[in-house]
Amino acid sequence: MTGTAAHIVRTLLLSLITLLGVSVLIFLMLRVLPGDPARVLAGLNASEEQVAQIRQQLGLDESLLSQYWHFISGVVQGDLGESARTSRPASAEIAVRLPATLILAFVATVVGSLVGVTAGVLAAVRRNTVLDHVVSSVAMMGVSMPVYWLGLLLILLFAVTLGWLPAAGSGQPLSIVLPAVTLAAFSTALVSRMTRASMLEVLGQDFMRTAEAKGAPPRTVIIKHGLRNAFIPILTVISLQFGALLGGAVLTETVFGWPGIGRLLVDSIGARDFAVVQGIVLVYAAVFILLNVVVDVLYVVVDPRIRY
């Protein structure tokens, strides 16, 4: 087994331990929240007998250890439990909503990466110029502005005032534009700042001056020699941002009425739907872990000098 393959196997084994820890944390955190889930589901006018019956159906009358054992044994078999709100399998509820969130996060990541890398490279090449200051100022605004506030401003401008784009939902092809731009704002700012910092460090290296002295075109020097050698930290930020955008989609999906797992998570927390909340958090954790493994492989592709 090669060093890279062995490293991936070790990472996957450690990932299973991480997922187990995440499952324990989310299981305990949900159960220390104030309020009775059975009472929430039964309604304020339900009798104590009805509440007790729902509590028994959900298994809430068992010990915490027994409840966790039922939960984790079901996860191993691909069963996340049953939604208390809809009486459907939690895995089915998540599977219906997950593609919408993945598409939104993917589009936002692509937009943020392309714009962020381009802006960062231009700012580094034109260091201390007006362009550099403009890119840095816009990046600072993108990092500082709350997602929900930016989303409301975009709805007010492009949907209400100009009427160019849909304000909410996913029924039209252009419906993804506003939520994707909103979600990509923070990612664009972060990627541009990281790109600028990495490029500034590379532009001062001897091999860059050597490439220029040999008469290589400026674009070749910047992209082939500069950006490629500066891309390792940029790739790390982009991959982490994709995972972060899945979590950030909770607010964006709520503002724009996007039918993803972000809205499902908010609704499930309000209804104390343990099975669905636990399943969504495990999906988030699994995506983050999978991204780490993929990035480890991409490091070797981007820079062949890296070996595990």
Report pLDDT digits (tens) over 106-159: 888 899 889 988 888 888 888 888 888 888 888 888 777 787 788 888 888 888
Query: Span 295-299, mean pLDDT?
Result: 74
Closest by CA position to 16, among listed 282, 295, 281, 274: 282
Q: How far, in Å, CA of 301 to CA of 294, rounded?
A: 11
Look at residue 199 in the predicted model and tell me its pLDDT.
85
Query: Span 279-308, mean pLDDT?
Result: 75
297 lies in the same domain as 233: yes
pLDDT class of 98 with cuts at 50, 70, 90:
confident
Q: Residue 1 above 60 pLDDT?
A: no
201 lies in the same domain as 268: yes
Q: Is residue 70 part of a domain?
A: yes
Q: Higher-confidence residue: 107 or 247?
A: 107
**Worst-scoring range by mean pLDDT, 81-95, 176-190, 199-213?**
199-213
Range(s) of the domain holding residue 62: 3-76
Report pLDDT digits (tens) over 266-289: 888 877 777 888 888 888 888 888
Spatial contact of 253 and 206, defined as CB atoms under 8 Å apart: no
Q: How far, in Å, CA of 50 to CA of 42, rounded?
A: 7
Query: Span 39-55, mean pLDDT?
Result: 70
Q: Is residue 111 part of a domain?
A: yes
139 lies in the same domain as 61: no
17 lies in the same domain as 146: no
Q: How far, in Å, CA of 46 to CA of 59, rounded?
A: 19
Look at residue 303 in the predicted model and tell me its pLDDT.
64
Mention every residue, 6+ apart, whose C-beta is less than 8 A from residue 177. Answer: 165
Tell me the whole-structure pTM to 2 decimals: 0.78
At 308, list the tokens. Answer: 């595990």
Query: Span 251-274, mean pLDDT?
Result: 80
Tally of structural domains, the chain: 2
Share of the chain above pLDDT 70, in %: 88
171 lies in the same domain as 287: yes
285 lies in the same domain as 197: yes
Look at residue 27 in the predicted model and tell me its pLDDT.
80
Which three-class secondary structure state does DSSP give residue 164?
A: coil
Spatial contact of 240 and 189, defined as CB atoms under 8 Å apart: no
At 266, list the tokens. Answer: 């908010």
Look at residue 2 in the predicted model and tell me its pLDDT.
64
Spatial contact of 158 and 178, defined as CB atoms under 8 Å apart: yes
43: left (phi over 0), alpha (psi -120 to 50) or beta: left
